[in-house]
Chain A
């Protein structure tokens, strides 16, 4: 009987509970049955759907329409079941969301590396099966860290969890903290399934200062030579005016990536740069049809880190666009983007081997097929690419290509056929009587054009410019006085068909020790690359001989030493680079290096007889300290467009292509520098360290670089150090000092310049991860009196005598970050600067900005996490400034005769630039 009562009581309890409404599962209809109004029921339902799952019944009080009395009346009628997220993707996404945001904000010049790292955050790799290259490709994981783990695994030990990983002997704390989010131990947190990532960015991007100046440069200065040709001021004589680039124009990017776990991957990206019409237009503003697929990047690939038929062997196979990176980037690291001091350590990483590529790299993109197989002892990859590359081309007055025969003659065409000129006579046949024939274009070299227009559009513009340079004689005139040479060099889209193949072989006799061989050959089917020597180069790139002497002091050997496929000593149709890389780990030090050689005059299979580049570095790490020492030496004539190694400056920096755009036959030749991706020829030693004394004092990343620019022998010492003092958790004080001394041996010529930069920043770390920083920077530059920098401010001319000039500039700024909640963050900054010839820089939320002479800048960015898998970032920036040219004009004589035909003198000449960026990212 007792049992029966108990049973009945249990059934009553079950029935009672069953009758209760579960707030986390009830339908709206069920909620409406509760003794509350229909609106309250709806509010409860919508709170669950649109805000959060109930953790407890007391969450009801978060709903404005539910007061305490209503809650009390509901308590006996409702239950809250424990809800746990079961979708592993959602769980993983929650775990890594802060890291994803950080990677997004570090994406910078869009090399596409963040995509790869984000994939590994989402679907980590098994730490017990990873290879050496897999480890060192991750941010802030060093070769020493990689060897520590690999040795442990090789002993048969299995790392079972995060704590176990931390106990790995030799693994640094930094290596551990950065690695742990990219790996799993026993079971993958996310099983293989289809994942997609759709991204969009709309950006009213502005041209950088150098590009801005280049596009403003006129084709026909009125004061051309000493002839004072009377050409009216005409804005359309520049690319800027001709293409009406004043208009606000967007830069748009759409990207879709798909993958099945880490095995099957595919993606497509379309980038429509500023001054183009965008994805949705089938033709551009100039009526030219556009092929969206041909202008997109895409890939499909297969990856398997553990092939079933080959133990511990990984395979990658990609079709479409891919990146290839080996060693120190001397032979092969294909990207359009240059970054200074790319050491390969810390956050300045390379992702080794073959990776899919949806970055904005367009010119040096590889399109074709690539395969990579590797196991702990041996690795091989092979890649082929077939793509048309943009080039700086020699052109005829009508815009057509100058053609070249195999004997090194420029070949022209008229109604009688092809001919070349010998002793000022047209020759239609060679000496042996055979017909003159040429089917290859004569090109100067690769160039990544700033303007995105196609060849027809550019040719139309050049025809207009040519007409001004060399106008048609008027009625009754047989010639035009002071006619100037036609445009002889111009950028051409898809001018050069490049078929490229390459390979990388690697053996690893011991853990952490590897020897590699890399080579690639680029075949040029339809073109000859021809760069003349210095004396012939001057009339080719400089419009007026008046400037020859002026330019002799600038280092132009970098330009004249660009690679040619046709010279006096050889004629070929390819460029070949070979190289060796090696590395090993001894204790807590890793040593690595690469040697590369570009085949020119020497024998292909002999080392040391051709232009070369090499780099050796050693990295020693302790728990809270590291040292990096790096030596590099790149020959001036080692011109490899697929290299992207460590250097202080990009190639062609400080040459006529940067400093003397006004003297060029075509300002757009400067694009070779503006969008350069290669390192400048340098020889030097670089030291870098970071040391955390304790929780109060940290010497931040500090370096000393001593190097010589090989093209002109300029020697430079650059030192930068940073000390952070944090007396309280909430307060930090940062001091940074930078010093750079440039020196020429010929002191009578360009002399010495010394730059000092002092920065002090006070940071307060507020609650809720809010952050406020005040920063002040002061610079001095002591240098010879360059007119362009140090023109006296007094009215009059610039004939003041000066020995050395000391310029000073400063900068004050405030940065603030406010987290409204975990879903909404606001960042903002206000800066005022006065440069006086000194260039300031500022790191914005995800891009660096170089600032000119004098001005103010404010920006605000909102990062909104719309849902667990959708992110929006909205940024607005205003920058108002004056540049150097305008300031000099203001401070000089307004009644100068050059200004006489202007109506009046304008005080308010400044630039005010607005930029807006919207990014959307949806992962599903």
Chain B
């Protein structure tokens, strides 16, 4: 049994860590949370059949009556460290693309919480259960800062002057508060069939802000009366709607459990405003656009099947593996369904202290938007969708705090690499446009050609995510 001091430390850990995701890239579909249950997360997120933790029913409502316990509570917190690194292509002296050079790197941390509870009752061979939960489903969080500097003074080990600062700040998560019902029919001690249904109410309050601010130094460099225009875009929107999930879990003996869930395509309503503003400069009037948002927001359907295997092993062992199909094609017709894979193993190394290892390969879409002209010279918006794989390696363990209380810890490291268009086109910082001069005021090197980079020289984006998940389970 742990001391009071240890319990306080654990409580603090649970409170100050949280579920998180975490990228400025996924600003339409958001980032999916790796797993709600810390044990499942340590096993790669696999656990569509999960009879070990009260949180199992959040993944699959049929797990509710498959639980070994009759009632349980679960609290989870997660902290996510997201590193976003952006690079530009670099060419060698033969003018061949050889690699990429980092120009901006952002590291941020995000936290989230979730909780769930359930109770079951048995009547002869039947068992009924009810559960409730609150958890974040998608994250729209993301923070990004990029400094625009010239290269003056670098030869003398001095800092180059800062011309402007670009910021992106996204806040908000899609939360789901729901209830699950499940019914089990037991044929014997280790054979039962569970069917569950889950109904959740979803809502999100998302704020997205993008700004370009010139530095004091830049403002001092230009003549009085010259305006270096600042830019602000603010989007503020809500999502609201309901989601249904169906689940089945079959325990087909002491060694095998098979699970399956299906979430039909979910339509949420998206309401809010999108406002962008650029100051007037020289001979150009200000640009102020206000758009009212009122549209449907489609979440893709998901089908997930998997199994859990309990072999005989000198170190007690559990192995879980899931396969999931997320059908984005219903949400946007130019997208394809993607297949995700989750696998993990738990070994009780010594004194029931488990070592968990896992792997997941999750695919998502990054959609880039580009304003261009078509063959007839008309303005068009071109969408580019890149399917992006995010592999993740996971690990974790747990501590039995008291007879009915377990603290699970899960760790995950994921990364992804892809091409994306430059977030802030370089042409904006061409001060000749604003001063009317033939030479740069803010840039010492007159050779520099400040133009927007398109897909001929896109950014290479490398992101990595370190996720720590702590879950406290009470079961009776």
| Cβ–Cβ < 8 Å partners of A278 in chain B | 339
Residue picked from B347, B355, B458, most chain A C-beta under 10 Å: B347
* 24 cross-chain CB contacts under 8 A: A49-B254, A49-B312, A50-B313, A50-B316, A202-B361, A231-B95, A232-B456, A235-B456, A821-B349, A824-B349, A864-B347, A865-B313, A866-B311, A866-B319, A867-B311, A872-B319, A876-B393, A889-B93, A898-B95, A903-B103, A904-B154, A909-B100, A911-B99, A916-B391
Of B24-32, B84-92, B136-144, the one contacting chain A is: B84-92
Residue of B98, B315, B359, B448 near A823 (CB, 8 A) is B315
Q: Mask for A806-820, Cβ within 8 A of B = 1, else 0? A: 000000000000001
The answer for the CA separation of A243 and B280 in the assembled complex, in Å, is: 41
Map CB proximity to A onto B395-421 as digits: 1 under 8 Å, 0 otherwise: 000000000000000000101111100
Q: A280-B339, A906-B90 are in contact. Are A247 and B311 (CB under 8 A)?
A: no
Residues of A within 8 A of B311 (CB): 50, 866-868, 870
Contact yes or no, B319 A898, CB < 8 A: no
Known A-B contacts A202-B341, A218-B97; A912 and B462 likewise in contact (beta carbons under 8 Å): yes
CB-CB nearest in chain B for A222: B95
A901 interface residue (CB < 8 Å to B): yes
B189, B312, B464 — most chain A CB neighbours (10 Å)? B312
Q: Could you tell me if A867 and B92 are in contact, using CB atoms closer than 8 angstroms?
A: no
Interface segment, one of B110-118, B174-182, B262-270, B382-390: B382-390
B317 within 8 Å of A by Cβ? Answer: yes
Asked whether, in the complex, the Cβ of B96 is within 8 Å of the Cβ of A221, the reply is yes
Q: Would you give the 0/1 interface string for A899-924, flagging 1 where the beta carbon is closer than 8 Å to chain B?
A: 01111111011011010101010000
B residues near A248, Cβ cutoff 8 Å = 388-391, 415-417
On whether the beta carbons of A247 and B419 are closer than 8 Å, the reply is: yes
A906 and B101 contact, CB distance less than 8 A = yes
Interchain CB contact under 8 A, B456 and A866: no
Contact indicator A223/B95 (Cβ below 8 Å): yes
| Minimum-distance CB pairs A-B, first 9 | A867-B311, A906-B101, A222-B95, A234-B456, A218-B96, A900-B447, A904-B151, A221-B95, A235-B89
Cβ contacts under 8 Å, B88 to chain A = 903
Closest to B461 in A: A246
Give the chain A neighbours of B151 by CB distance below 8 A: 903-905
A residues 878-901 with Cβ under 8 Å of B?
883, 885-886, 889, 896, 898, 900-901
Cα separation A916 to B360 with both chains bound (whole Å): 10
User: B89, B309, B355 — which one has the most chain A CB atoms within 10 A of its CB?
Assistant: B89
Best-buried of A28, A250, A902 by chain B (most CB within 10 Å): A902
Q: Is B134 an interface residue (CB 8 A)?
A: no
Instruction: Establish whether residues B96 and A216, one from each chain, have CB atoms under 8 Å apart when the complex forms.
Output: yes
Q: List chain A residues, Cβ under 8 A from B97.
A: 216, 218, 233, 235, 237-238, 240-241
Is B207 close to A, CB under 8 A? no
CA A32 – CA B88 in complex, angstroms?
A: 69
Given the known inter-chain contacts A864-B347, A904-B151, please indicate yes or no for A909 contacting B101, CB distance below 8 A: yes
Task: Given A864-B357, A866-B317, A911-B99, answer yes or no on A52-B345 (Cβ-Cβ < 8 Å).
Answer: no
Residue B460 at the chain A interface, CB threshold 8 Å: yes
Question: Quick one: which of B154, B361, B418 contacts A905, CB cutoff 8 A?
Answer: B154
A853 at the interface (CB under 8 A from B): no
Given A233-B89, A247-B419, A918-B343, are A823 and B314 neighbors across the interface (CB < 8 Å)?
yes
Interface residues of A in 840-880 (CB under 8 A from B): 862, 864-868, 870, 872, 874, 876
- A745 contacts the other chain (Cβ, under 8 Å)? no
Task: Flag whether B282 is at the interface (Cβ < 8 A).
Answer: no
Shortest CB-to-CB span from B144 to chain A, Å, is 18
**Contact: B309 with A250, CB < 8 Å?**
no
Minimum C-beta distance from B342 to chain A (A): 11
Report A616-661 residues with CB < 8 Å from chain B CB.
none
Please tell me if the beta carbons of B349 and A51 are within 8 angstroms of each other in the complex.
Answer: no
Q: A238-B97, A903-B426, A906-B90 are in contact. Are A823 and B317 (CB under 8 A)?
A: yes
- The answer to the question of B372 belonging to the interface, with a C-beta cut-off of 8 Å to chain A, is no
B residues near A28, Cβ cutoff 8 Å: 189
Is A285 an interface residue, CB under 8 A from the partner? Answer: yes
Whether B393 lies near A238 (C-beta < 8 A) is: no
Asked if A50 meets B310 with Cβ closer than 8 Å, knowing A233-B95, A246-B460, the reply is yes
CA distance A766 to B97 in the complex (A): 48
In the complex the two chains form, is A250's CB within 8 Å of B386's CB?
Answer: no
User: Smallest distance from the beta carbon of A858 to chain B beta carbons, Å?
Assistant: 12
Q: Is there a chain A Cβ closer than 8 Å to B449's Cβ? A: yes
Q: Is B432 an interface residue (CB 8 A)?
A: no
In this complex, which of B345, B386, B418, B462 has the most chain A Cβ atoms within 10 angstroms of its Cβ?
A: B345
Whether A823 contacts B96 in the complex (CB less than 8 A), given A248-B389, A864-B347, A916-B393, comes out as no
Query: For residue B90, which residues in chain A have a CB less than 8 angstroms away from its CB?
Result: 886, 902, 906, 909
A754 at the interface (CB under 8 A from B): no
**Nearest Cβ distance between residue B219 and chain A, in whole angstroms?**
21
Could you tell me if B313 and A244 are in contact, using CB atoms closer than 8 angstroms? no
CA distance in complex: A872, B95 (Å)? 45
Which residues does chain A contribute within 8 Å of B339, judged by CB atoms? Answer: 278, 280-281
A236 touches B102 (CB 8 A): no
Contact with B along A276-296 (1 / 0, CB 8 A): 001011000100000000000
Contacts of A51 in B (CB 8 A): 312-316
Contacts of A906 in B (CB 8 A): 90, 101-103
Question: Of all chain B residues, which has the CB nearest A280?
Answer: B339
Contact A916 to B101, CB < 8 A, known contacts A233-B95, A662-B94, A905-B154: no
Is A15 in contact with chain B by the CB < 8 A criterion? no
Interface membership of A362, Cβ < 8 A: no
- For the complex formed, measure the closest distance between the CB of B476 and the CB atoms of chain A, giving whole angstroms: 12
Question: What's the nearest-Cβ distance from chain A to residue B84, in Å?
Answer: 14
B457 within 8 A of A: yes
Q: Which residues of A contact B389 (CB under 8 A)?
A: 204, 247-250
Contact of A221 among B94, B149, B154, B357 (CB under 8 A): B94
Q: Is A822 an interface residue (CB 8 A)?
A: yes
Known A218-B95, A281-B339, A876-B413; further 6 A-B contacts with Cβ < 8 A: A202-B361, A866-B319, A870-B309, A904-B160, A908-B101, A909-B102
**Given A867-B317, A901-B447, A820:B457 Cβ within 8 A:** no
Chain B residues near A876 (CB-CB < 8 A): 393, 413
B366 to chain A, nearest CB (A): 10
| Shortest distance between the CB of A892 and any CB in chain B (Å) | 9
* Nearest-neighbor residue (CB-CB) of B91 within chain A: A233
Interface residues of A in 196-242 (CB under 8 A from B): 202, 204, 216-218, 221-223, 231-238, 240-241
User: Is A64 an interface position by the 8 A CB rule?
Assistant: yes
- B387, B418, B455: the one contacting A246 at CB < 8 Å is B418
Given contacts A50-B311, A234-B457, A872-B345, contact A244 B393 (CB under 8 A): no
Report the Cα distance A52→B311, complex, angstroms: 10
Q: A824-B349, A866-B311 are in contact. Are A916 and B359 (CB under 8 A)?
A: yes
- Nearest A residue to B254, CB-CB: A49
Contacts of B92 in A (CB 8 A): 885, 889
Which residues does chain A contribute within 8 Å of B355, judged by CB atoms?
A: 820, 824
What B residues does A918 contact at CB under 8 A?
343, 359
- Chain A residue contacts of B98, Cβ below 8 A: 216, 883, 885-886
**B349 lies within 8 A of A250 (CB):** no
Nearest Cβ on chain B to A717's Cβ, whole angstroms? 35
Residue from the list B100, B358, B387, B449 in contact with A285, Cβ < 8 A: B387
Are A223 and B418 closer than 8 Å at their CB atoms?
A: no
**Chain B: minimal CB distance from A443 (Å):** 28
CA distance A50 to B456 in the complex (A): 58
- Taking the closest CB of chain A, its distance from the CB of B126, in whole angstroms, is 20
Contacts of A908 in B (CB 8 A): 101-102
For A886, what are the chain B residues with a Cβ–Cβ distance below 8 Å? 90, 98-99
Residues of B within 8 A of A822 (CB): 314
On chain A, the residues within 8 Å of B455 by CB distance are 236
What mask results when residues 447 to 476 of chain B are scored 1 for a CB within 8 Å of chain A, else 0?
111000001111010101000000000000
Contact between A233 and B457, CB atoms less than 8 A apart: yes
| Chain B residue nearest in CB terms to A882 | B99
